[in-house]
Amino acid sequence: MHRIACLVLAGLVLGTVADAGQIEGVTFPDQVTVGSATLTLNGMGVRVKKIAFIGINIYAAALYLPAKEADPAKVLAADEPKQLVMHFLYKEVGRDKLLEAWDEGFKKNAGAALAALKEPIATFDGYWSDMKKGDVAVLTYLPGQGTKVEIKGKEMGVIAGKEFAEALFAIWLGPKPPNENLKKGLLGR
């Protein structure tokens, strides 16, 4: 959070705005184009996994929206384009660990919709492989089309339905995110 404030302040002092945000050595552009929409960097954060007393940085993430929004309920409810980019930082995260984390995130945040999402979640789980340091995953929701999943630069498929997209983005923005600082960062706080 301190880094974000420093970047903003530096841009104001120097009179130029940086073309990107940076966190943990990963640079995210200020804007991305998704279909015909231009999305703005809403915020960034780091997924930290606590093991014993040690925090391990798993991935840096950036959330892109049509306009800045700090209210997670509004982000989740809006039927508009959104994108989450994950840049993996850890040497290797096994597929089994990823699926465990996704399934836990869905269970904690999807609420009553979880039962109806078993098939789309199974499809989503089927797209994943081991992720190594430097690998990137991009999750993009487009109204009327669904959620496009890109892993390591390859489009894996599109999962239809706003309900799935809402449950997916709720993993990070819902009431029980993987870690609260990641949620705050993605919401630009």
Q: What is the pLDDT of residue 54?
A: 86
24 lies in some domain: no
96 lies in some domain: yes
16 lies in some domain: no
109 lies in some domain: yes
53 lies in some domain: yes
- Residues 114-166 pLDDT 10s: 999 999 999 999 999 999 999 999 999 999 999 999 999 999 999 999 999 99
176: domain CATH number is 3.50.70.10
Q: What is the pLDDT of residue 138?
A: 98
154 lies in some domain: yes
> What is the rounded CA–CA span in Å between residue 131 and residue 92?
6
- Has residue 68 got a pLDDT over 90? yes
Segment 16-41 shows an average pLDDT of 85
Looking at the 3D structure of the chain, how many domains does it have?
1
Which residue segment(s) compose the domain that 136 sits in? 29-186
Q: What is the pLDDT of residue 55?
A: 87
Confidence of residue 8 (pLDDT cuts 50, 70, 90): very low
Percent of the residues in the chain that have a pLDDT greater than 70, as a whole number: 90
110 lies in some domain: yes
Note the pTM of the prediction, 2 decimals.
0.88
Q: Which residues contact 133 (CB under 8 A, 6 or more apart)?
A: 88, 89, 90, 91, 92
- Has residue 51 got a pLDDT over 70? yes
Judge residue 6's burial from the number of C-beta atoms within 10 Å of its C-beta, 0-12 exposed, 13-18 middle, 19 or more buried: exposed
5 lies in some domain: no
